Structure 1
């Protein structure tokens, strides 16, 4: 009698339920894979990781609250041996760099064929890195994120349209310091104002 195949245990985090369930069903068709937990947010994914035996985490970037990249950072801290695959609808070069810095071993766009995703899962479990080649080329051409962590923090907080006074209170900075960070970010991104700076940084995946 042959022994059963040891299945790769997958945690799948995706906020769109139809997409998540479709991915789970397709991966479940692979003979060596099993989706053992699903989550709609980064926070729920972290909780699922703590309550399930998981080999690979598939994380969407764009989730409400904690993003997939933020969840990946936390997961990598808590479970350094976990293999993390980042999935995204948006092929933004800055996302790739941030995902790798967060500890992800693979970065794929969501419209990739299921066979490609399944192959990526097997590869990261074997210790390999898998990066969408077109996105890797764009990321190399774009270069590194020119914004410092503090500039990113201020610009991200400014995305909601808060005034400098509100930003200063939220970030525990002086209004002058907030103005300086925003001014430097605007200069680095070669735009005219902070609204354009926010859009430019978001488009490149730098926030």
Structure 2
């Protein structure tokens, strides 16, 4: 009899993580060997338990699932990664694939289907939710530079330009220029609208 697939579950919502662990444990060939509630904890658990597959929530405290997957690619290279998310956006999918993620699925997927996808990922194949894949293809690549995206992210909570400039260690005029350029690229009337558009498309 072959060894069961060793699974790490990382999700900051305890109820969801617990329910998922219970449902996956019903599968004879799967074994949840570790759970985590944040990005740093997921990395620590993966280093300690060396799972075959890490099932990562996209949005977690500390660092998101894509950042964790990128770290695991080098630190625990035998571990295959997949993202399960309630916030699937085209830009997130592209980032995930670039980080070596093998599976990308919405949280609406059934536990039975998730178990099948874990097996698919473990065997070295890839699974991407068809709807998310179609959205990613139709949305195109982000027109924003890395610096423009960074400053829009800092502007997302409504911080004034002076505060953004201080946090980014840039002159206020430079920050205004970057934010104006980002808004123009996104055809947004101001930086707040630019943040909303970029987030909707998964570019932030």
* TM-score, scaled relative to structure 2: 0.95
Specify which of 150, 155, 158 is matched with residue 158 of structure 1: 155
Report the equivalent of 2:67. 70
| Other structure's SS at 1:10 match | strand
Report the equivalent of 1:56. 53
Q: Does 1:198 align with 2:163?
A: no
Shift of 1:184: 1.2
Report the equivalent of 2:175. 178
Q: Residues of 2 paired with 1:191 and 1:135: CA distance?
A: 24
| Other structure's SS at 1:35 match | strand
String of CA shifts for 1:1-22, please: whole Å, max 9, x gaps: xx4x401111100111110001
* TM-score, scaled relative to structure 1: 0.94
Aligned runs of 1:57-206 on 2, under 5 Å?
57-206=54-203
Shift of 1:69: 1.6
| Other structure's SS at 2:109 match | coil
Q: Residues of 1 paired with 2:65 and 2:88: CA distance?
A: 14
Shift of 1:91: 2.6
Contact 2:47/2:75 (CA < 8 Å) preserved in 1?
Answer: no
Shift of 1:56: 0.5
| Other structure's SS at 1:107 match | strand
Which aligned segments of 4 or more residues in structure 1 are displaced greater than 4 angstroms? none
How many residue pairs get aligned? The number is: 204
Shift of 1:79: 2.2
Where in structure 1 are there 5+ consecutive unaligned residues?
none
